[in-house]
Amino acid sequence: MPFDPVAIAIPVFVVLILAELLWLRRKGERHGYEWRDTGTSLAIGLGSTVAGALTGGVTAALLVWLHTLSPLSIGWAWWAWPLCFVLDDLAYYVFHRSAHRVRWFWASHVNHHSSQHYNLSTALRQSWTGFFALSFVFRMPLALIGFEPGMILVCAGLNLVYQFWIHTEAVKRMPPWFEAVMNTPSHHRVHHAVNPRYLDRNFAGALIIWDRLFGTFAPEDDTDRIRYGIVSQLGTFNVFYAVFHEWIAIARDMWRAPWRHKLSYLLRAPGWSHDGSRETSDLIRERWQRTQKDRHGS
Amino acid sequence: MGGETVQFLGALAAVVALVAITYVLGFRLSGRISSIEEAAELFRLAPGGFEPASIALDEKGEAAIARDGVGRIALLIQHGSQFVVRELPDGTPIRAVEGRLEIEPVPAARLRIGDDAGDWATTDIDANSG
Ligand SMILES: [Zn+2]
Ligand SMILES: [Zn+2]
């Protein structure tokens, strides 16, 4: 990789978190952060850099190998950079949508959503088990198309760095043209919400266009206060529980389930159950829509 | 020490410093529920849904208890400055003691609700003095 955007950005992350803390304090909004929640987020972030360092070499080697199989070699032409970034962002969208719709990938991604707070420290709750979950397969097609492995990794890093600043309540709305094209704090607040209307929406990395294109976009409604986190809130600041709880839950469900349902607990949507005792995001939204109708009598 | 170790220790120091600063700047408030309406909104987010029919709020807003139309009981329990909703298993004993509710399996739920405490007790009347 020519350079590692994430490593370069870490000091900037620290400065921006400090700035957000001071800004919130000046506004008297001392519910915006909670020190133990921040500790959990940052510890998970630190752990994810260790996991990344341990497995990054394998991912890079896989990309290099696939690149040699490609009939094309795009090389380092200047125009390849924006093209690679946009296609990598599309790959991220597919990954991220799968991460919410397939429990196997969700088990690795869920820790990013486990905070009930939404601030810049939340952005650093990154997965430890992404490599184990094989999340890297989503980026492999880019190497097969013929993009340079180093370019793919830089674009992936830039994408991750971009996503840092959108984890804040400090920015209400960006200019309309920006909100139309780019992922923004407003769009990503929706993604972290547990309000039924917002579940499984706005999977974008850097560009919101994919959600608009594929029908998964929801705008933020300022009249409905957002509650953050996951449907079954953890209720603990334990780092290891936050990182591994869904893997443990999958193992428990598969152990208990009848044989013909075991794989479904791994591969179907989070919340699916063979006896209908739980709810997926879609079921939660349907139930909510029914109660809305009852309440407003239509 | 290798470069990676130095980088890790630097990041670790930054993490400890940021958490300490967050604490010192006063970001250590406990959660408060401001109203019955807010409690209802939070109860409705329970996994599987929970439509509260009646709610009692702790005097300081540090917890809440609710009953739905079919008699299920759920609690809002403080988690840092936020709340988590937990449904109680059927038959969980709830004792009313001097305007306070005691729910043994959930010691974190400290509910001071005053005169109405007796309405929420599920153990036999003699044991309750709400
Ligand atoms: Zn997500
Ligand atoms: Zn996020």
Q: Which residues pair with B86 in a beta bridge?
A: B75
Q: CB of A278 within 8 Å of any CB in chain B?
A: yes
Strand, helix or coil for residue B84: strand
- For the stretch B51-110, pLDDT in tens is 999 999 999 999 999 999 999 999 999 999 999 999 999 888 898 888 888 887 777 777
Give the integer Cα–Cα distance in Å for A178 and A189: 16
Q: Which residues pair with B83 in a beta bridge?
A: B78
The ligand that comes nearest to the alpha carbon of residue A121 is 2
**Residue among A249, A290, A241, A244 at smallest CA distance from A272:** A249
Domain locations in chain A as residue ranges: 5-239, 240-296
How would residue A260 be classed by pLDDT, with cut points 50, 70 and 90? very high
Look at the pTM and tell me if it is higher than 0.90: yes
The CA A234 to ligand 1 mean position distance, Å, reads 16
- For the stretch B105-123, pLDDT in tens is 777 777 898 888 888 888 7
Q: Which residues pair with B75 in a beta bridge?
A: B65, B86
pLDDT for res B130: 46
Q: CB of A287 within 8 Å of any CB in chain B?
A: yes
- For the stretch A200-233, pLDDT in tens is 999 999 999 999 999 999 999 999 899 999 999 9
Min Cα distance A229 → chain B (Å) is 10
- For the stretch A17-62, pLDDT in tens is 999 999 999 999 999 999 999 999 999 999 999 999 999 999 999 9
pLDDT for res A50: 93
What is the ipTM for the molecules in this complex? 0.91
Task: With CB atoms and an 8 Å threshold, state whether B27 touches A14.
Answer: no
Min Cα distance B84 → chain A (Å) is 6
Q: Could you write out the three-class secondary structure of B13-81?
A: HHHHHHHHHHHHCCCCCCCCCCCHHHHHHHHHCCCCCCCEEEEEECCCCCEEEEEECCCCEEEEEEECC
Phi, psi (deg, nearest 5) at residue A287: -60, -45
Out of A36, A46, A233, closest to residue B84 by CB = A233
